[in-house]
Structure 1
Amino acid sequence: MPQAKGGTSQFTVRSNEINYRGEATMPAVVSYFQEAAWDNTKTLGISMYDLLERGLTWVLQRMRIEMFRYPKHDEKVTVETWASGREKVFLHRDFRLYSEAQELLGQATSVWLVMDVEARKMVAVPDFIMAHEIAPDHPPLPFAKGKLPALETPAYEEQMPVRWHDIDLNRHVTNTRYIAWVLEALPVAFHEEKQLQELDIIYRAESLLGDTVLSSGGKASAENTFLHKLTSQQTGKELVQAQTKWGASD
């Protein structure tokens, strides 16, 4: 049985990936994680393109991210990623983000499913993926499990129309766009005063071209913590549930 060895990918923080502080945004960081996952699965023969040839695709179900420092414009970073576990139809993958000096900038754990492209339904993990053993030389981060508190009374809301450039290879809204929309509901003054330290996001349903998404947010019971949800205004479905934790801006 082949081992699902981990991999590393290098990135340089580009000018279109930074905020007004000159730091990479959370969507940019998650895009590095996803690109590194793609690189690693390609070497294993189980990339999205490999799955698409069989009428299947990868779908991100959950990601929990901790950031210790955001890299700055033109900074070179390395993402280390590895398959970290399996539970029935859930496949776990972990990430660590390092600076050139090997400073740990952030880390994340994620949960993936396999979807039938035509039926748009989740399927059992096929044998050609199950044939790969979990990387034995990388201790897993704690799995992202359990429910998040529900957002009962939103304090902030924004409408987001789904446009052509929001759509990815799976012909639905890309994961990083959902993250941006979750954060967009909070006021500008809040973003200027605070910095996002942790994000736990659960992807519940897909949103397609022509939809309008309502982003809602409000304070949680824990200090410096907010609850979020994205809802399709066409179908009424909850698309995303998330929780964020914030610290003071440097």
Structure 2
Amino acid sequence: MAKATGGESRFVVRSNEIDYRGQATMPALVSYMQEAAWENTATLGISMYELLERGLTWVLQRMRVEMFRYPRHAEPIIVETWASGREKVFLHRDFRIYTSEGELLGQATSVWLVMDVVKRQLVAVPDFIMAQEIAPGQEPLPFAKGKLPQLQETQYEQQTPVRWHDIDLNRHVTNTRYLQWALDTLPVAVLEQQLSQVDIIFRAESLLGDTVTAVAGAGEAPGVYLHKLISQETGKELVQARTEWKKLES
């Protein structure tokens, strides 16, 4: 369990957060983890609201999630999170998801940056954030770093306009929506399998009125897929991701 610098949040899987198997979806689980991170930063006085008062905000740059078992509808879960390290302007945060009985369901590591909300530019980590002690209560997960394989051949593609309910507090597309769009590009035959791991990098923001093109194709091994999201408005690559899928046991 994490020390005082970490946090523990409790959730119950809701009916609008499950798939056809009655299990929580990956976007829902990522939402739980981000909510836990928000609650933890609030106790430290560095939540998004505190940053916004200074003209700053948190930006998720990368997240790598590994799931061992997905919680089911109405199942209570506990999300532990803690700041796990710093590298220059990169702030690392880890997560572990447990059942109320202590079974480890999944884990994740993430990278966060600080952005100036007016200039829409990344800034050096302010001193009031740097002053927070990094003292993980357990061994940090390996940092999410290094390049992802490049998508060589597009097999699947879809376009999605950015609508009002895709926008978050930072007035850009929320990262869980990006994740959803990346996954939804894959065919049903893949989506019906078990998503065991996702590594997603958020490279640029997309705003209301934009249209996002999502493409995907086979990766370097069976069950691996590579993803890209591109802004039609700017031509920028918004997201790069790698997913691993396992066939369900009959």
> TM-score when scaled to structure 2?
0.97
Task: Work out the CA distance in 2 between the residues paired with 1:123 and 1:141.
Answer: 25
Q: Look up the SS of the partner of 2:102 in the other structure.
A: coil
Amino acid of the structure 2 residue aligned with 1:23: Q
Deviations 1:198-228 (A, max 9, x none): 0000000000000000110000122210000
- Does the CA-based 8 Å contact 2:82-2:136 persist in structure 1? no
Q: Look up the SS of the partner of 1:157 in the other structure.
A: strand
Deviations 1:80-104 (A, max 9, x none): 0000000000000000000111110
| Number of the residue aligned with 1:177 | 177
| Number of the residue aligned with 1:242 | 241
| Number of the residue aligned with 1:196 | 195
| Number of the residue aligned with 1:151 | 151
- Structure 1 range deviating more: 9-18 or 130-139: 130-139
| Number of the residue aligned with 2:223 | 224
Quote how far apart the aligned CAs of 1:195 are: 1.1
Q: Does the alignment pair 1:122 with 2:122? A: yes
Deviations 1:14-34 (A, max 9, x none): 000000110000000000000
Task: Work out the CA distance in 2 between the residues paired with 1:135 and 1:212.
Answer: 42
- Does the CA-based 8 Å contact 2:224-2:244 persist in structure 1? yes
Task: Work out the CA distance in 1 between the residues paired with 2:189 and 2:87.
Answer: 41
Quote how far apart the aligned CAs of 1:136 are: 4.0
| Number of the residue aligned with 1:79 | 79
- Does the CA-based 8 Å contact 1:4-1:133 persist in structure 2? no
Task: Work out the CA distance in 1 between the residues paired with 2:191 and 2:137.
Answer: 39
Find runs of 4+ consecutive structure 1 residues off by over 2 angstroms.
none
Task: Work out the CA distance in 2 between the residues paired with 1:11 and 1:134.
Answer: 25
Q: Look up the SS of the partner of 2:84 in the other structure.
A: strand
Amino acid of the structure 2 residue aligned with 1:32: Y
Task: Work out the CA distance in 2 between the residues paired with 1:210 and 1:129.
Answer: 34
- Does the CA-based 8 Å contact 1:4-1:132 persist in structure 2? no
Quote how far apart the aligned CAs of 1:4 are: 6.7
Which consecutive residues of structure 1, in runs of 5 or more, have no partner in the other structure? none
> TM-score when scaled to structure 1?
0.97
- Structure 1 range deviating more: 39-48 or 182-191: 182-191
Indicate the RMSD between aligned Cα atoms, in angstroms: 1.0
Identity among equivalent positions (%) equals 72
Task: Work out the CA distance in 2 between the residues paired with 1:203 and 1:219.
Answer: 20
Which consecutive residues of structure 2, in runs of 5 or more, have no partner in the other structure? none
Q: Look up the SS of the partner of 1:228 in the other structure.
A: strand
Q: Look up the SS of the partner of 2:61 in the other structure.
A: strand
- Does the CA-based 8 Å contact 1:82-1:138 persist in structure 2? no
Task: Work out the CA distance in 1 between the residues paired with 2:153 and 2:31.
Answer: 31
- Does the CA-based 8 Å contact 1:4-1:44 persist in structure 2? no
| Number of the residue aligned with 2:47 | 47
Task: Work out the CA distance in 1 between the residues paired with 2:244 and 2:164.
Answer: 31
Amino acid of the structure 1 residue aligned with 2:216: G
Task: Work out the CA distance in 1 between the residues paired with 2:130 and 2:69.
Answer: 35
Quote how far apart the aligned CAs of 1:191 are: 1.4
